[in-house]
Structure formats: C-alpha cells, structure tokens
Structure 1
C-alpha cells in the first residue's frame, strides 16, 4: 500500500493557454485541487516553495486554508528552502497550520534548489556565518526548527508579563504535538540521505538527484533510500521512518491526454550539469495504462517508498489535474498493488 498525493509547483502566467493567470488563481486553485484530490481518493496535497518566482512561495497560509477545506488528506511541502526561514517564526506558523488541519501536516524542508536571484536569502536578512556556506546555514536553521518543535521550554519568562505564564521556561506557541516526527528532508544525493536519517527526519527524494553513477535513475534513488534506512537503523530511532519519491506519471486514457502527452511516451532519464556537478533527472512516465503498469512495476525506488507524489501540470487547471490523479488511482494503482 502506498500513499499517493500530488506535488504542485504552483506556476502562473498570463499566457493564452494557461488556466492559471495570476497569483490569486494559483493560490485558490491549489486549495481547490486539494479538495478535488481528497474527493478522488488521493492521500496528499503537497506544494513546492520558490521565492522570487511566479510560483507558490509562502506555504503556511495555503496549508492552513487547504487544511480548513479538507478532512482527511495529508498537507505538505516539497520543499521549503531553509536558507530563507526564521526557525522560530516558522515553528509558530507550522504549529498553527497543523492544528487547523487536525495534525495532518507533512513538511518537507531542504537547502533548496538553484535560485531565481543571486543569494536571494540575503534579501530576507540571512547571511551565512563566517567560514560557513549557505548549505550550512540551511542545516543550522533546520536544527533550530526541529529543536523548538520538541515543545520544550527555553525562553525565560518576564517577571511582570502582560498575561499570566505557566511555570518554568516558555516554549513556542502554538505547540503542535507530533509535528516533529512529520518533518522530511529533501535529499539530493546518497550522503545527504544518510545525514537525514541521523537527524531523525523522513526522507523526501524527487525526480532529480545531484549525482550520477551511470545507473538508471530509479536504481540510484533506490540505493539512496536503502542507505537512508540503514543509517536510520544504526541511529536507533524509535519510530519507523517514511520515504517519498516524486514522479511525473500521465496515463493516456482520453484524446486530450494523448494530445498533451504523446511526446513523452518515449521519455528517458537525462543527465545534466547542475550546481557545479553532474545530476540525473528521472524520466516522465506517459502512455496507455498497460504500458505504464509494466514500466512502473520495474521502478525500484517507487517499490521502496511508502509515499508517491505525482508532479502535476497545474497550469492545465484543477479539473484536468484531478483527472490525472483519478487515472493513476483507478487505472494503475490497483494493478501495481499500491491500493
């Protein structure tokens, strides 16, 4: 059994064929898609976070709104760039959104991807400490975020407060029980996956790995997942970790599907140069259901993960993306043993 959700980048553009013309469109349609996904039987609504771009950026108002409109599905991010985040303010926002949703948040965080602007985090007021990198800063922000999510008090109360305080040191409020165990790290390579396990975070792996060993993408990703699980066992954590992978999957079950995705029916892995090194990109799965069932059955990383996030072309609109989710859930998942 697998949790199946969608991952939306939340693009908008005023192009002629775009169903998402503005920032308001993408925010409102993101909420509508979460509702539609729940109705067709999906398990999660996840959103990408990009700054300085015509895409989704500040996730917590969106997550809170989607949480208020749904009742069952998980709501998450994939991923929040921690270089830009104030860990304590983020903990307040995350706690509030989690409580509104009834404890359904699943937050993916990471160092982030290549930016739209040069050192964008500096515009947000963050500067790596002397002798450290922006990646170090992201990990330090994450460490502090995880620390305050524990719910332990750390702040000395004012002896003459405006309102009465409980005894002892004060914690960040609102506190969301269990949220610390629902934080995921977006790991781009095998070494980072090991670090993720050591920190006690769940593993989130996308259609991009920032390394290439010459083996197919799904095999390299499966190796990453196994290294994560081995490191988790070595660390001695008391709970079972979760692992998600992202895929672009488009069953062709209608004339419109064929018109939109026939060019992707012979897709393959790609190798490119990203952030100063080789990177391997996973292929798009598109085709008739029987073809996709055979191909997906061979995907070792999907087999190793408990959660599958389907990247959706959000500019095609809510109805079409709900159709894609329903096609995967009804035409593929039962045959592959995912449901």
Structure 2
C-alpha cells in the first residue's frame, strides 16, 4: 500500500476568481480540506511554508488545529525553511503539535527554496557565521533541532526554581517520543539525498531537482531515491526509512476537470534555472483515469516511493480539491495497486 496525501501551498489572493481571498480563508480551508481528505480515505495532509508571501507561513498553529480536528491521517510540512527557525522554540512547537495529534506529525524540513525577499532570514534575526553559507546555517539549525527533539538534557537547573525539578540537567518540554523518526529532509540533489540518509532522516523529494543529467525527471529522481537507500544501508540505521515524492495529478472525469486541466494533457518535463543552477521539473499528469494509470505505471520514482503527495490547486476551493483527491484515491490508485 502506498500512502497518498495532499500538499498545499495555501495561496490566497484578493481576486474574484479565487476561492481563497484572505489569509483566514487559506488557514480555515486548509483545515477543512484535511478533514475531507481523512473522510475520503487519504493518508496525509501536508503544507508548504513560505515567508513574506501570500501563502502559508507559520505552520504549527495550523498543524495543531488539523491534529485536533482529525484522528487518523498524517499531518506534515513540505517543507519548513530551517534558515528562518529558532531550533529550540521550534522543538517546543513541534512537540506540542505532535502530542495534540497523537503522534501523527511528519515534519518535512530543508534549506529552503528561493524566497520573496533577499536573505529574508536576516529579518528573523539569523545570519550565517563568517565563512559559512545560508545552507550551512540551515543545517546547523537542523542539528540543534534534532538534538532537542531527541530529548537531550542540557540546561542547568536553577537551585531555587519556582517549581520542583527532576534531578540533573533539564530538557525542553513538551517532549514527544518518536518524533525524531518522523523528520524528513527535502533534498533537491542526489548528493543531498545521501547526506539525508547519513543523518537518519526520511527523504522528501519534490517535483523539481536542482540538477539535470539529461534523463527524464522520474528516472533522475529514482536514481536519487536509490542513492538515498544505499547510503541509509551503509550508515547502518536500524529502522526502515520512508521516501515521498510530489506529483501534480488531475484525473479528468467531468467538465470542471476538463476546463481546468484539459490543456495540461501531454505535458512533459521542463528544464529551467534556479539560483543560477540548471534544474529539471517534473510533468503534470492530466487526462482520463485509464490514461493516467498507464502513464503513472511508468513513473519509476513514484514506484520507488512509499508516499505520494498530490499538489493541489488550493485556490479552486475545498470542494473541488476534495473531488480531485477522491478521483485519485478511489479511482486511479486501486488500478495501480496502491490500494
């Protein structure tokens, strides 16, 4: 069985053609879509984090709210930009959200993608140390965060505390057991996937890779996944890792689907440049369900992953996105043996 969830960027715009016109709309509809996804039999609700943009930003209030309204699905991020994060405060927030959800948090983190402003993390009070890059800073924040959610006791207790302390150094609270095994790293290259495995993090791979070898996107991504698994085995980790990929999949079953995505049929990979680096973007899958089954069966990366995140056009509203999820989960997935 393959876990299937949705991934929302939570866009909003004050346009009459958008169903999501305010930040309040984006947040409340994200919760409602997660509830609908659980009712439809999907396995996860994931949210992208972008700062200085009309999109979802601070994830933990949203994750906690979704956790309180649902009981079964996984709740996650894809991804949180660790350049912006205070790792100790984040550890407290993540522990609280995970406890509210009953241990269902799947936390995707990464160095982050190009942002709306120049060096936005500096406005949050963070700057790389001399001789270090912003990517180095993101990994340093990550290392501290992982130690905190592992329950490291590090703080010297006050000899005259307001409340009694347990003996020895103190850890951050609340602590959520098992959260460390449910942290994922968003890797954009094959080398980063190997780095991810060495540190015992699950692999989250999206619809673009910041490298291009000339082969189709799904084959390059499948190679990335295999390198991750080989590096995981070489590192000697005891548990089995998880791997997710993101795809845009739109079964065309009615006139609405045809109007929105009929023009995407026959889409192919795209090659572009991000931050001066050549990148390859995956195709959009759109078409009649039987055709999608045939095309997706050839996607080597989807076959290699245990989790599939469906990127949703959230500005089309909860009802339409629930319709897309239902088509994939109930009509496409079973034909591929994912259900």
1:57 match: secondary structure: coil
2:104 aligns to what? 104
Deviation per residue, 1:258-308 (Å, 9 max, x gap): 011011002100000111110000000000011100000000000000000
> What SS is found at the alignment partner of 2:333?
helix
1:247, distance to aligned residue in structure 2 (A)? 0.1
Instruction: State the secondary structure of the residue aligned to 1:106.
Output: strand
* TM-score, normalised with respect to structure 2: 1.00
Could you tell me which residue of structure 2 aligns to residue 235 of structure 1?
235
- Counting only pairs closer than 5 Å after superposition, residues 326-337 of structure 1 correspond to structure 2 as 326-337=326-337
Give CA deviations for 1:229-277 in whole Å, capped at 9, x if unaligned: 0000000001000000000000001111001101100210000011111
Q: Give distance in 2, aligned partners of 1:312 and 1:269.
A: 19
For normalisation by structure 1, the TM-score amounts to: 1.00
Moved over 4 A (4+): none
The separation in 2 between residues aligned to 1:27 and 1:277, in whole angstroms, is 33
Taking the TM superposition and a 5 Å limit, the aligned residue runs for 1:51-130 are 51-130=51-130
Matches within 5 A, 1:157-168: 157-168=157-168
Deviation at 1:331, TM superposition (A): 1.1
2:184 equivalent to 1:184? yes
Aligned match of 1:294? 294
| CA deviations over 1:10-48 (Å, ceiling 9, x no partner) | 000011210001000000000000000000000000000
Task: Measure, in 2, the Cα distance between the counterparts of 1:140 and 1:199.
Answer: 13
Question: For 1:329 and 1:96, how far apart are their aligned partners in 2?
Answer: 30
Name the CA distance, whole Å, in 1 between partners of 2:293 and 2:143: 40
- The CA distance in 2 between the partners of 1:263 and 1:138, in whole Å, is 39
The CA deviation at 1:89 is 0.2
Q: Which residue of 1 aligns with 2:269?
A: 269
Give 1:8-27 correspondences, 5 Å limit: 8-27=8-27
| Structure 1 counterpart SS, 2:68 | helix
1:247 aligns with 2:241: no
Question: Whole-Å Cα distance in 1 between the matches of residues 2 and 158 of structure 2?
Answer: 48
Task: State how many pairs are aligned.
Answer: 339
Q: Any stretches of 5+ residues in structure 1 without a counterpart?
A: none
Q: Distance in 2 between matches of 1:252 and 1:278?
A: 32
Alignment of 1:127-146 (within 5 A): 127-146=127-146
Structure 2, gaps ≥5 residues long = none
Q: C-alpha separation between the residues in 1 aligned to 2:67 and 2:131? A: 41
Aligned equivalents of 2:309, 2:320: Cα separation in 1 = 17
| SS of match in other structure, 1:117 | coil
SS of the aligned residue for 1:45 comes to: strand
Provide the rounded CA distance (Å) in 1 between the counterparts of 2:29 and 2:167.
45
Distance (Å, rounded) in 1 between the aligned partners of 2:277 and 2:179? 34
1:152 aligned residue: 152
- CA deviation profile, 1:153-210 (whole Å, cap 9, x unmatched): 1111111111100111100100000000000000000000000000100000000100
What's the offset of the Cα at 1:330? Answer: 1.1
1:152 positional shift = 2.3
